[in-house]
Amino acid sequence: MRLIVMGQQAFGKDVLEKLLDAGTDEVVAVYCEPDKEGKPQDPIKQFALEKGLPVLQPAHFKDDSTVTALAAFNADLMVMAYVNVFVPEAARSAPRMGSICFHPSLLPLHRGPSAVNWPIIMGSNKSGYSWFYPTDGLDEGDILLQWECPIAADDTVIELYFKNIYPHAVASALTVCDLFRAGNPPRTTQDESQATYERRCTVRHAKIDWFKPAGQVYNLIRGTNPAPGAWTSRNGETVNIFDAKLVSGDGISGRIMNVSDDGVTVQSVGGRILVKRVKPQGGAKMPAAQWAQEAGLKVGDTLGE
């Protein structure tokens, strides 16, 4: 088959590399976002150019000429791997068999741009990814295939996505092409009654409320590690919290209950958070024990002020 690969960053690059290494299909063009001033070249663009592939970077697909240029590649399928730009029907349907898109959740759950963060933050025990037929609605098209994995009690975004979903999803690009090549690829309608949508997880969402149940606080820390990074404050300055552990104990919420070589233990409702790694405002990431020493933290101090 003749393929167009559309994507960004490392995931798009690794999908492209996987398809090229397989050698089963011909990649006739690569699409990615426009270059950003002052930012490094997108990995998928750099890799595609090294392989001598045509690279196109339209800011949008509103112009007929942009769609015409895509159609001129006479592709059989467009594989959309991590796409942020809206691609209208005219462009999606230009390849002979249309387009297929990746999303890192079990659709129709967690539609939207932070689909790896929110399942952890919400305390879900499973996640996965979907390849679906994109429509004009956000992550609303029929499903081609899905893969499910558990979310362990201590998983962060790093474990769930980069160590679990990511490698399996990259390899699945070959399965996707095989399904189209075989003819009559599966289509399963999404159950709209089960659909959820969450907006992008930002710094605003990552603020810790120590007066919430400890389990919820811990899920927020896990679900924003490494980005955008859960945070609290001390004496008016922001402190990002990364690696942590849920431990037992009672006390006044927000109070520091223990300071040791293991880290800083902070009380929440019904339990405590052992903070292991932080990033003080204006500083670098460091062990929480080092931060405690440098900041002069002691038992009884309060965070969140």
Domains held by the chain: number: 2
> 179 in a domain, yes or no?
yes
Tens digit of pLDDT for each residue in 209-249? 999 999 999 999 999 999 999 999 999 999 999 999 999 99
Residue 303 is assigned to a structural domain of this protein:
no
Characterise 97 by phi-psi region: left (phi > 0), alpha (psi -120 to 50), beta (else): alpha
pLDDT over 90 (residue 2):
yes
162 and 226 share one domain: no
| Token pair of 26 as six digits | 């011909």
CATH number for the domain spanning 49: value is 3.40.50.170
Question: Is the domain of 169 the same as that of 42?
Answer: yes
Regarding whether 185 and 82 lie in a shared domain, the answer is yes
* Whether residue 190 is found in the same domain as residue 223: no
Rg (CA), the chain: 22
First CA to last CA across the chain, in angstroms?
59
> How large a percentage of the chain has pLDDT more than 90?
97
What pLDDT is stored for residue 23 in this prediction?
95
Same domain, 262 and 185: no
Query: Is position 25 within any domain?
Result: yes
Query: Is 49 part of a structural domain of the chain?
Result: yes
Confidence class for position 305, pLDDT limits 50, 70, 90: confident
Residue among 12, 79, 99 at smallest CA distance from 47:
12
Residue 206 lies in a domain: no
pLDDT single digits (tens) 72-112: 999 999 999 989 889 999 999 999 999 999 999 999 999 99
User: Whole-angstrom Cα distance, residue 236 to residue 250?
Assistant: 26
Q: For 26-30, 172-176, 235-239, which range has the lowest pLDDT when averaged over its residues?
A: 235-239
Residues 189 and 220 in one domain: no
Residue 199, domain member (yes or no): no
Its domain, for residue 71, covers 2-194
Q: Assess whether 177 and 233 both reside in one domain.
A: no
Task: Tell me if the bond preceding 226 is cis, omega within 30° of 0.
Answer: yes
For the domain that residue 259 is a member of, what is the CATH number?
A: 3.10.25.10
pLDDT at 197: 97
